[in-house]
Amino acid sequence: MNAVVDTDRLIEGLGPAYLDLSDRIWDMPELRYQEERSAAAQIGMLEAAGFKVTRNLADIPTAFMAEAGEGGPVIGFLGEFDALAGLSQEAGIAEKRPVAEGGNGHGCGHNLLGAGAILAAVATRDHLKARGLAGRVRYFGCPAEEGGSGKTFMARAGVFEGVEAAFSWHPGSFNSLFPSQSLANIQAYFRFSGRASHAAASPELGRSALDALELMSVGVQYMREHMPEKARVHSAITRTGGLSPNVVQDDAEALYLIRSPQIPEVMALFERVRKIAQGAAMMTETEVGITVDKACSNLLPNTVLDELMQAEMERVGDSGFDDADLAYAGEIRRTLHENDIAAVYQMFGIEPEAEPPLLAGHVLPGPRHDLILPGSTDVGDVSWQMPVAQVMAASNALGTPFHSWQLVAQGKSGAAHRGMLFAAKTMAGSAARLFEAPDLLARARAEFEARIAKTPYRCPIGPEVDLPFRRGAS
Ligand SMILES: [Zn+2]
């Protein structure tokens, strides 16, 4: 009997219960650090499967860990389950129609992500048991991937220590390895305080926080010409100081998000932005308070695990989309722009096909080590603690943008379910290989240790930074 086929068969058998879990989580979209019901649903399944659950990990009520197995090495599976604000959308249709106006929605497919990673963890544990192999699997329930860097706070608390390698996945347009590099980032609030005054009667007495905010923005604009090429600085104004032009605004705030391929570059840019803010405060005789919200590290690639996962993906083969999947994808396709389709090809560094398939059930060649995710993920911080590899599984109509109503609409579709099973087979197959071939795990570890030896991990969130949900309104 072939070992890897064992895990596929286990996943086929266990699959329906976990597809149902994913659908249930889709039905209760919860935002960063508020995922109580989604975490409880996952914990329920894990306990029923005989996993020992540790709650309140890193002092985060919706972070948890579940372990099963005996002795041997520890292999981790990373799961997410948070939704996005403003993306409420009915499932299974091809037009924009919210379930609840202004409500949340699973716009990044994290309902599938967590359930699929649990499915892989349970199948791997069953496989170890059936084979009489020593080894432990740990599922990490990781909240707040969207704008909360839950895993970075978890890494700061040391919860990933003792895990020798980890796997995860993300739903997307293609079956491919997830880009093995990403951008590091830091996000911080800049809040200016001035002095209110009647803008016509006594303007000389007023000191405008809003002026300071605008000057900061001008300063950052001038900085942009002198940044590393792949660096990005984004901002949102979170307090305007009021709606009255005839009152000098005494309170204004912006949230800045700074990204670059490496953490030291991010920190250097953050220092420059801090100086610009202080300069703006000095010019306007206001005060500025700076509060770091969150940060995350860039992904560290691991060639050994990437090659393992690529081989497993190719072994699993095609996603097996059926006519109903294709028909629905065809309806979604009509709502997409050609640039949406071009963008997913660009992300994977491949030439767009003349007639892009509605669903890409095939496996892209790889591993490709030149790809950098044009965004950030808090999996980055886990990848500085242990070798990590991730796959992307085709789960929606090719070209569906992340964080779109179209992605929410497809979150419970046949294609989404097939994508989740494909990912679970790839992850469980890869983990089974690591347990069965200690030399493979040793090589992945050696590569990881060599990378870390050059630049040891330093959590980009310092000990002074409070958990986001503990901070009062900033
Ligand atoms: Zn995501």
Give the dihedral of Cα atoms 16, 21, 22, 23; nearest 10 deg. 90
pLDDT at 261 exceeding the cut of 70: yes
Confidence of residue 472 (pLDDT cuts 50, 70, 90): low
Residue 466: the pLDDT is 93
pLDDT digits (tens, 9 = 90+) for 349-377: 899 999 999 999 999 999 998 888 888 99
C-alpha 113 to ligand 1 mean position (Å): 8
Q: Which residues pair with residue 389 across a beta bridge?
A: 167
Q: What is the mean pLDDT of the chain?
A: 96
Residue 5: the pLDDT is 63
pLDDT digits (tens, 9 = 90+) for 59-85: 999 999 999 999 999 999 999 999 999
pLDDT digits (tens, 9 = 90+) for 416-450: 999 999 999 999 999 999 999 999 999 999 999 99
Sign of the CA dihedral with 466 first, then 167, 169, and 42 last: negative
Q: What CATH number belongs to 184-294?
A: 3.30.70.360
Mean pLDDT of 237-258: 96
Confidence of residue 473 (pLDDT cuts 50, 70, 90): very low
Mean pLDDT of 173-199: 96
C-alpha 214 to ligand 1 mean position (Å): 32
Euclidean distance between CA atoms 19 and 30, whole angstroms: 18
pLDDT at 302 exceeding the cut of 70: yes
Query: Percent of the chain having pLDDT more than 90?
Result: 93
Confidence of residue 86 (pLDDT cuts 50, 70, 90): very high
Confidence of residue 474 (pLDDT cuts 50, 70, 90): very low
Residue 147: the pLDDT is 86
Euclidean distance between CA atoms 212 and 239, whole angstroms: 12
CB 75 within 8 A of CB 435: yes
pLDDT at 337 exceeding the cut of 60: yes
C-alpha 170 to ligand 1 mean position (Å): 7
Mean pLDDT of 267-279: 98
Residue 346: the pLDDT is 93
C-alpha 276 to ligand 1 mean position (Å): 32
What is the residue extent of each domain of the chain? 3-182+298-454, 184-294
C-alpha 154 to ligand 1 mean position (Å): 18
Residue 61: the pLDDT is 97
C-alpha 109 to ligand 1 mean position (Å): 7
Identify residue 91 by its one-letter amino acid code: A
C-alpha 258 to ligand 1 mean position (Å): 19
C-alpha 205 to ligand 1 mean position (Å): 48
Mean pLDDT of 215-228: 97
C-alpha 272 to ligand 1 mean position (Å): 29
Give exposure, 94-120, as e/b (b: 16+ Cβ within 10 Å). beeeeeeeeebbbbbbbbbbbbbbbbb
Half-sphere exposure of 259 (CA within 13 A, CB side): 18
Mean pLDDT of 209-224: 98
Label residue 327 exposed, middle or buried (CB < 10 Å: 0-12, 13-18, 19+).
exposed
Residue 455: the pLDDT is 86
C-alpha 144 to ligand 1 mean position (Å): 10
Domains 3-182+298-454 and 184-294 share a fold: no
C-alpha 353 to ligand 1 mean position (Å): 25
pLDDT at 1 exceeding the cut of 50: no
pLDDT at 2 exceeding the cut of 80: no
C-alpha 432 to ligand 1 mean position (Å): 25
Query: Percent of the chain having pLDDT more than 70?
Result: 98
Phi, psi of 437 (to 5 degrees): -125, 85
C-alpha 225 to ligand 1 mean position (Å): 30
pLDDT digits (tens, 9 = 90+) for 139-155: 999 999 998 999 999 99
C-alpha 183 to ligand 1 mean position (Å): 14
CATH 3.90.550.10 fits 3-182+298-454, yes or no: no
C-alpha 77 to ligand 1 mean position (Å): 15
C-alpha 146 to ligand 1 mean position (Å): 7
